[in-house]
């Protein structure tokens, strides 16, 4: 069981072995917004790692990271901000 009281707000961390969701999701965060707290697991496992500039651009477009930002209480927000953050100094491949 993940203890929300021991987690900081809006600070993602990797899921640890034995925690619910380990092996299914990559990270967990205690999302806090306007007094509301929510435990969110995000980032699918099982895919090969392709964090190239082109893959980053495609993911961000598919998830509408820049055109329609999600609330901090949604997994889409954390995937965009934590796993697929916009990278400024990368060359396109």
Q: pLDDT for 14-72, tens place per residue?
A: 999 999 889 889 999 999 999 999 999 999 888 777 778 898 899 999 999 999 989 99
The residue among 91, 69, 90, 89 whose CA lies nearest residue 80 is 69
Are residues 83 and 43 in contact, defined by beta-carbon separation less than 8 angstroms? Answer: yes
Q: Is the pLDDT of residue 90 over 80?
A: no
pLDDT at 48: 74
- Quickly state the pLDDT bin for 87 (edges 50, 70, 90): low
């Amino acid at each position: 069981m993940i203890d929300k009281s021991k987690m900081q707000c809006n600070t993602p961390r990797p899921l640890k072995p034995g925690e619910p969701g380990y092996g299914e999701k990559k990270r967990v965060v205690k999302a806090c917004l306007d007094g509301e707290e929510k435990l969110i697991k995000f980032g699918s496992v099982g895919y090969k790692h392709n964090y190239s500039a082109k893959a980053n651009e495609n993911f961000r477009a598919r998830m509408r990271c820049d055109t329609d930002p999600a609330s901090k209480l949604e997994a889409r927000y954390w995937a965009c901000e934590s796993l697929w953050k916009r990278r400024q100094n990368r060359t396109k491949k």
